[in-house]
Structure 1
Amino acid sequence: MGSIADNIGGVTRRIQKATKAANRPPESVRLLAVSKRKPPEDIRAAAAAGQLSFGENYVQEALEKMAALADLRNLEWHFIGPIQSNKTRDIAAHFDWVHSVDRLKIARRLSDQRPESKPPLNICLQVNVDNEDTKAGATLTSIPQLAEDVIQLPGLRLRGLMAIPDPDQSEASLRESFRALATALNQLREANPDAEGLDTLSMGMSDDMETAIEEGATIVRVGTALFGARDS
């Protein structure tokens, strides 16, 4: 692995190449640096290289990093891990985005606990796009009703959908999973024409971002290619 700055440059070039191949503008895809299990110093180095959006999976770990990096006021924090009910207050208070909402109970708690001094919390609904028994996420068939309910919550702003497809499937099957998520988002837009900001497909990681971008990803979540392998 090179330096974090070099790695950011390399991933950015991969995104630019993939968007060009898909006839999309480069700015249509955002890089979310997955910084879980990485120290604040790594985030600081990434920020110095121009990367300002970071994804965290564990609330307490993220809060400690936020405190350590409080002098960097332009960072954008995304929660991308499973959400426990007893963690929603901290998530609602400290994050800018949440990618992993998969049930209405959690959405209601996040809305109710979002401080009035902050703008609505940006939300993606997590979809278990491959119907894996061990993976979190709502089913594709339940997404329309869940989205309709979430749109009504005043503390939230529904932005789109997120998925983590099975990485062990063939490339053709992986592409089908990404395509199914993109289709679901298009259907949400058609069903909710008055909803503002249904513009986000959070899909694709270090090993499959090119395929995800070809199928419409607007946020790719990349950790290993930026920071190297993590402990867990």
Structure 2
Amino acid sequence: MVQKRQTHSMSSIADNIGSVTRRIQKATLAAGREPGSVSLLAVSKTRPPEDLRAAVTAGQTAFGENYLQEALDKIEALRDLPDLEWHFIGPIQSNKTRQIAESFAWVHSVDRLKIARRLSEQRPEGLPPLNICLQVNINDEASKSGCTLDQLPDLVAAIGELPNLRLRGLMAIPDPDQPEGELRLSFRRLANALNALKQQHPDAGPLDTLSMGMSGDMDLAIAEGATWVRVGTALFGARPPKQAQG
């Protein structure tokens, strides 16, 4: 019985990945964008390693984690799988930067210079520069992490001096309770901010990335220029109750 449930889980995760991939392709085409210009980041927080293995079997290799200790446990459990790309997407405490710098290829949630400095200083020699996105609090919500749009230019200029970081772009988690028109405008504001930074800071980094859009709003985000969509529920089903995480 247990084996049967696992098999069903694997096949449903594979089916979901196929469905979400087709949805991304359709939205990319509808937006008049290049096929393949939007990548799927599987948000795997609270999911067991077996779920990630099922996703890998279906061709998914990029995984986003919010909780450091849980992520480190999974990275270790899945070390036998080649070519997995780990993205840290949660709030970052100063005392967690070393392990993030050592273990991840991407960090989407850098929101202040102190964190960026520590990630650069603690990135091990021999690893390529750490890809980072700056998290923007696009709707100025008190409960959300992120810098303001006004703070971006100075932050980008300062991060350009850090040797072990590669500034890829911006990330945001807009208020999902906005009307659709307002949500679309939030995504557009982030895209406009990225374009402005490219003009102001042509040497700051590739600035080729917009990490925005989740299960419920990825189509809108793709229409406004998302290059990574962060999807959990639509791949893995409803999330189990959250437990205290490190």
Shorter-chain TM range is: over 0.9
Segments of structure 1 that go 5 or more residues without pairing to the other structure are none
Q: How does 1:1-232 map to 2 (within 5 A)?
A: 3-231=12-240, 232=242
Max radius of gyration: which structure? 2
How far apart, CA to CA, are the structure 1 residues paired with 2:35 and 2:75?
Answer: 29
Deviations 1:91-146 (A, max 9, x none): 00000000000000000000000001100000000000000011110000001110
Letter in 1 for 2:178: Q
The answer to whether the 8 Å contact 2:137/2:174 transfers is yes
The answer to whether the 8 Å contact 1:158/1:197 transfers is yes
How far apart, CA to CA, are the structure 2 residues paired with 1:172 and 1:102?
Answer: 26
Provide the alpha-carbon RMSD of the alignment: 1.0
How far apart, CA to CA, are the structure 2 residues paired with 1:143 and 1:97?
Answer: 19
How far apart, CA to CA, are the structure 2 residues paired with 1:194 and 1:109?
Answer: 21
How far apart, CA to CA, are the structure 2 residues paired with 1:78 and 1:208?
Answer: 20
Cα deviation, residue 195, structure 1: 3.2
The answer to whether the 8 Å contact 2:156/2:204 transfers is no
May I ask how many residue pairs the two structures share in their alignment? Answer: 232
Letter in 2 for 1:158: L
How far apart, CA to CA, are the structure 1 residues paired with 2:76 and 2:26?
Answer: 36
% identical equivalent positions: 71
How far apart, CA to CA, are the structure 2 residues paired with 1:148 and 1:32?
Answer: 28
Cα deviation, residue 73, structure 1: 2.0
Letter in 2 for 1:13: R
Cα deviation, residue 26, structure 1: 2.3
Letter in 2 for 1:61: E
How far apart, CA to CA, are the structure 1 residues paired with 2:15 and 2:230?
Answer: 17
How far apart, CA to CA, are the structure 2 residues paired with 1:196 and 1:183?
Answer: 17
Segments of structure 2 that go 5 or more residues without pairing to the other structure are 1-8
- TM-score of the superposition, structure 2-length normalised? 0.93
Letter in 1 for 2:221: A
Partner of 1:140, secondary structure, is: coil
How far apart, CA to CA, are the structure 2 residues paired with 1:150 and 1:64?
Answer: 30
The answer to whether the 8 Å contact 2:133/2:168 transfers is yes
